[in-house]
């Protein structure tokens, strides 16, 4: 193709990640070319469906677009310093950067990973790498139907989803199928399962794609049956062969003929690699930003983090380490720390989150940045980490709650870093108050950036803090701001919440209820009709109640209330990071009264009366999905303990209210009993949070 482009085979891309120097080299076109991922590149963001469809395109001979890169200049150590292939540093091996096409290159390379080879490996350092790998399988039993777009069914298993995904695309499998899959391979549901130990749960006859490629290009067997039986003998202990041990040779032969013919065509498949003719890091960064505003959407935050890694190579490992310890995305950690640095430099609150342009134009000295991320940054992390619960009886924050808070309210991490830097004593003296404060901002925040600005200003005016006096009254400062703005919604005590939500005492009023707000209107009628500033009071109530209703989406207060259960089940979960990175979790948000009792039900007289209480945290609990596997939509078992359900104070025995059937909601008294029980549980959860963190001390 000339010096401005290379014509690569799929084996070249496989070689780039695996650094193969052995049995596939006869198919590699450019042994002297090894592509690496520059630090400015974001992580792997393609979904399973995108990877599977890309391979369907390759086997059908469809083009997948060119890659773009540049040769790494040997004489520029700053540029050469920080090259990665799938997270591993390869500064002494990579010859070219991949600037556009990382996702496709990685998707292609997945075909060359053999899960059973990796499972058999006993090298500890390699095993740690394999634990982060995904593997691509092909379902040889797939039969294309007339209305289906795929000619081949590829199946991806990942560290977060070692059982794979649904056949319909990227949907995660229901917990019942996950549990069945894990039980089928003799793995406990609370035990970590790695992708190399597993195989796709939804497939007829899955085989590692690496096997099919190996058979087509590098083995002495004439028939796939013989090849498969060799693998069976070699890896007979792998869980895969527990399920597929009895498959017949005839079945294998019938399923493989067409696919082997298609795989053989890979020898001639080519992908263009276009080369940028420059040695300047500025050109590389600019090209990356232009290219990556197309394709899979890149956020401004991702562009910031890419620019940061490009301009300050070598710091990334510290950021990744802090990210893993805090269970917070590394880009969130980096942008919050960089925002603090700018704050300290210019001496005032940074109103807008730094962008990629800020990285280039900032007034910070490179040595300042390097020194900060190598020293003070680690201390800031330790302070933030001190808020996390350390034992079952600790009042600290569940680690997953911290993850959720920062995910939804990044400004909170900036605040915590600032306090850790400027008022570090607060972490020792006012741990409860800090946890309460960040949860209030996250759950009840309206203009969160403005709220944090006011908090920083409020704390800056106080003397060096050695106790919690400087935090008293801080929350009330956030209600009514300039020009009618609100930093947070006004919050009410558990006793006030109980009075706000009035349950009607007769059928006629019950039938007028359609939402949680209708319950509030009853209290407004009773208490505020004559002598209050109606509009302002109703506005405050509406804002608060709306957040209370949406607590089922803001997981942190329920997590905090159930923190003992959380810690017992997940507090020492060694590989929890794989779950939060893929937006997965090893628990359900379980309806105590099953949603099927009312959801989609028609002709039920008091359905709308009870519905608001079916869908709020009064009827939710966190529950390890292994505990939930036998429930599905069944009513509670008689042997389930009240303390494990986290229902109500022991003196309020309303257990039976969560055992109602659909027909019971035609009876007002029974429906009311459920509404009262769900409300009481909501109040109890809110009270556990309020009293546990002494929230009233901040008002």
User: Residues 6 or more apart from 485 whose CB is under 8 A from it?
Assistant: 446, 447, 450
Q: How far is CA 62 from CA 59, 114, 270, 295, 406, in A?
A: 8, 25, 10, 18, 42
**Is the domain of 328 the same as that of 467?**
yes
Q: Which of 450, 484, 518 is the last residue of a domain?
A: 484
Same domain flag for 341 and 242: no
Instruction: Report the number of secondary-structure helices (H) and strands (E) in the chain.
Output: 34, 12
At residue 366, the pLDDT reads: 83
Q: φ, ψ for residue 464 (rounded to 5)?
A: -50, 120
Q: Please, which residues have CB within 8 angstroms of residue 621's CB and are 6 or more apart in sequence?
A: 558, 562, 589, 590, 592, 645, 646
Length of the chain in terms of residues written: 699
Enter the tokens of residue 186.
């003799």
Distance of alpha carbon 358 from alpha carbon 343, whole angstroms: 13
| Domain presence at residue 355 | yes
- Examine the domain organization and report whether 445 and 540 are in the same domain: no
Domain that holds residue 108: 5-112+270-276
Rounded distance between C-alpha atoms, residue 122 and residue 130, angstroms: 11
3-state SS string for 553-587: CCCHHHHHHCHHHHHHHHCCCCCCHHHHHCCCCCE
Domain match, 98 and 180 both: no
Q: Could you give the CA distance from residue 407 to residue 391 in angstroms, rounded to a whole number?
A: 24
pLDDT tens for 9-38 read 888 887 777 663 333 445 555 666 777 766
Q: Are residues 413 and 523 in the same domain?
A: no
* Shared domain check, 440 and 527: no
Q: Which residues contact 518 (CB under 8 A, 6 or more apart)?
A: 512, 612
pLDDT at residue number 86: 47
| Domain match, 331 and 454 both | yes
Whole-angstrom CA distances from 437 to 397, 477, 481, 655 are: 12, 12, 18, 33
Q: Are residues 87 and 154 in the same domain?
A: no
From edge to edge, which strands make up the β-sheet containing 206-208? 154-157, 135-139, 206-208
Same domain flag for 253 and 328: no
DSSP readout, 522-538? HHHHHHTTTTS-HHHHH
Which residue, 675, 580, 10, is CA-closest to 324? 580
Tell me the C-alpha distance between 372 and 574, whole Å: 29
Number of domains the chain is built from: 4
Alpha helices for 185-315 (secondary structure H):
209-217, 224-234, 240-244, 249-264, 281-291, 300-311
Write out residues in the chain with pLDDT < 50, as ranges: 20-25, 75, 78-79, 81, 85-87, 90-91, 528-532, 574-583, 629-632, 638-642, 644
Residues 480 and 503 in one domain: no
* Strands 154-157 vs 5-8: parallel, antiparallel or unpaired: unpaired
**What residues does 208 pair with on adjacent strands?**
137
Tokens 């989803």 found at? 161
Is residue 286 in a domain? no
pTM of the predicted model as reported, rounded to 2 decimal places: 0.76
Predicted local distance difference test score (pLDDT) of residue 169: 67
Q: Which of 276, 307, 335 is the last residue of a domain?
A: 276
- 282 in a domain, yes or no? no
Helix (H) or strand (E) holding 92, with range, is none
Q: End of a domain among 276, 307, 342?
A: 276
The answer to whether residue 121 is domain-embedded is no
Beta-carbon neighbour count of residue 667 at 10 Å?
A: 13
Residue 562 lies in a domain: no
- Note whether residue 65 is domain-resident: yes
Kindly state the greatest CA–CA separation across the chain. Answer: 92
Contact 43, 24 (CB under 8 A): no
Is 117 contained in some domain? no
Q: Which residues, at least 6 apart from 649, have a Cβ–Cβ distance to it below 8 Å?
A: 684
What per-residue string of b and e applies to 21-31 under the rule 16 or more CB within 10 Å gives b?
eeebeebbebe
> Is 411 found in the same domain as 520?
no
Is residue 501 assigned to a domain? Answer: yes
**Minimal CA–CA distance to 76: which of 274, 273, 284?**
284
Q: Are 500 and 474 in the same domain? A: no
């Amino acid at each position: 193709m000339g010096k401005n482009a290379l014509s690569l085979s799929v084996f070249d891309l496989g070689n780039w990640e695996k650094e193969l120097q052995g049995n596939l080299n006869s198919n590699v076109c450019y042994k002297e070319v090894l592509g690496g991922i520059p630090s400015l590149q974001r992580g792997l963001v393609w979904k399973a469906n995108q990877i599977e469809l890309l391979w369907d395109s390759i086997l059908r001979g469809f083009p997948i677009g060119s890659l773009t890169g540049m040769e790494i200049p040997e004489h520029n150590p700053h540029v050469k310093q920080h090259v990665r292939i799938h997270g591993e540093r390869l500064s002494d091996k990579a010859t070219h950067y991949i600037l556009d096409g990382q996702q496709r290159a990685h998707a292609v390379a997945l075909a060359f990973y053999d899960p059973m080879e990796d499972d058999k490996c006993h090298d500890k350092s390699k095993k740690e790498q394999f634990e982060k790998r995904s593997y691509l399988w092909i379902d040889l039993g797939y039969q294309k139907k007339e209305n289906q777009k795929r000619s081949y069914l590829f199946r991806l298993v990942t560290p977060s989803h070692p059982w794979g995904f649904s056949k319909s695309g990227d949907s995660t499998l229901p917990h019942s199928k996950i549990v069945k899959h894990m039980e089928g391979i003799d793995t406990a549901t609370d035990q970590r399962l790695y992708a190399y130990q597993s195989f796709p749960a939804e497939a007829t006859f899955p085989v590692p794609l690496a096997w099919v490629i190996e058979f087509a290009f590098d083995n002495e067997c004439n028939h796939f049956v013989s090849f498969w039986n060799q693998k069976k003998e070699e890896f007979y202990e792998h869980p895969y062969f527990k399920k597929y041990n009895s498959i017949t040779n005839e079945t294998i032969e019938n399923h493989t003929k067409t696919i082997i013919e298609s795989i053989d065509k890979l020898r001639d498949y080519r992908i263009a690699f276009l080369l940028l003719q420059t040695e300047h890091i500025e050109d590389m960064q600019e090209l990356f930003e232009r290219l990556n505003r197309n394709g899979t959407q890149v956020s401004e935050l991702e562009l910031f983090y890419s620019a940061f890694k490009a301009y300050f190579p070598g710091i990334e490992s510290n950021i990744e380490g802090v990210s893993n310890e805090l269970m917070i995305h590394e880009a969130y950690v980096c942008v919050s720390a960089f925002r603090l640095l700018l704050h300290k430099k210019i001496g005032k609150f940074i109103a807008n989150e730094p962008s990629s342009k800020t990285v280039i134009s900032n007034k910070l000295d490179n040595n300042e940045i390097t020194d900060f991320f190598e020293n003070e940054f680690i201390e800031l992390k330790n302070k933030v980490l001190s808020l996390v619960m350390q034992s079952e009886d600790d009042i600290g924050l569940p680690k997953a709650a911290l993850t959720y808070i920062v995910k939804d309210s990044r400004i909170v991490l900036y605040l915590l870093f600032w306090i850790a830097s400027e008022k570090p004593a607060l972490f020792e003296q006012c741990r409860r108050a800090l946890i309460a404060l960040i949860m209030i901002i996250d759950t009840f925040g309206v203009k969160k950036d403005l709220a944090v600005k006011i908090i920083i200003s409020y704390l800056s005016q106080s003397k060096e803090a050695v106790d919690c006096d400087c935090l008293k009254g801080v929350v009330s400062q956030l209600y009514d701001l300039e020009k009618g703005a609100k930093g947070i919604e006004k919050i009410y005590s558990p006793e006030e919440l109980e009075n706000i939500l009035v349950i009607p005492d007769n059928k006629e009023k019950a039938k007028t209820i359609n939402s949680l707000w209708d319950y509030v209107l009853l209290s407004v009628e009773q208490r505020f009709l004559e002598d209050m500033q109606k509009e302002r009071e109703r506005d405050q109530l509406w804002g608060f109640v709306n957040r209370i209703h949406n607590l089922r989406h803001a997981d942190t207060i329920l997590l905090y209330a159930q923190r003992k259960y959380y810690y017992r089940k997940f507090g020492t979960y060694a590989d929890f990071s794989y779950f939060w990175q893929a937006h997965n979790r090893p628990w359900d948000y379980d309806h105590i009264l099953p949603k099927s009792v009312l959801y989609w039900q028609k002709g039920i007289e008091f359905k709308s009366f009870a519905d608001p209480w079916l869908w709020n945290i009064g009827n939710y609990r966190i529950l390890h999905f292994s505990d939930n596997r036998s429930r599905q939509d069944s009513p509670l078992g008689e042997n389930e303990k009240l303390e494990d359900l986290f229902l109500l104070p022991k003196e309020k025995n309303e257990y039976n209210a969560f055992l109602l059937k659909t027909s019971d909601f035609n009876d007002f008294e029974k429906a009311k009993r459920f509404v009262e029980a769900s409300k009481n549980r909501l109040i109890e959860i809110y009270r556990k949070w309020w009293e546990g963190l002494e929230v009233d001390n901040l008002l």
